[in-house]
């Protein structure tokens, strides 16, 4: 897996661009990148449109990052999701119609709604 850390569009923001295989063998690297970004950024954006292979560990780590961001009062969003990640979200039952209980706004990374990556899942 390749993780690129880029300056975010929002002041104090960071974008992590993920590409390649992000399965269990890369979970430690993804966890460290997410933790580092959340420690330093006010807002974290994750671009996962170039991920070629994913599994439940990928989705669980993104959920954990969301939970951590909420606890820290920081923002987190997905800018794009590849077909591989979307398939795991759907097949493992993560796709939601309403937000999770973590945040005041009851938001969730996996809300289907109008997100273009959720179409067809």
In the chain, count of helices (H) and strands (E)? 3, 4
- In this predicted structure, what is the pLDDT of residue 51? 96
Spatial separation of the C-alpha atoms in residues 57 and 72, rounded to whole Å:
22
Q: Strands, E, within 1-121: which ranges?
A: 2-7, 13-21, 43-53, 75-81
Q: How far is CA 121 from CA 77, 79, 85, 96, in A?
A: 19, 17, 11, 11
Confidence of residue 33 (pLDDT cuts 50, 70, 90): very high
Phi, psi of 4 (to 5 degrees): -105, 130
Domains within the chain, CATH numbers bracketed: 2-116 (3.30.750.24)
- pTM for this prediction: 0.84
């Amino acid at each position: 897996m390749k993780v690129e850390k880029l300056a975010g569009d929002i002041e104090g923001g960071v974008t992590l661009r993920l590409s390649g295989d992000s399965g269990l063998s890369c979970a430690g690297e993804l966890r460290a990148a997410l933790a580092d970004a959340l420690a330093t950024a006010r807002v974290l954006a994750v671009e996962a449109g170039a991920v070629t292979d994913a599994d439940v560990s990928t989705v669980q780590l993104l959920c954990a990052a969301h939970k951590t961001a909420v606890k820290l009062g920081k923002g987190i969003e997905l800018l794009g999701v590849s077909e591989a990640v979307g398939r795991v979200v759907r097949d493992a039952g993560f796709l939601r119609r309403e937000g999770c209980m973590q945040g005041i706004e009851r938001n969730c990374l996996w809300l289907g709604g109008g997100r273009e990556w959720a179409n067809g899942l």
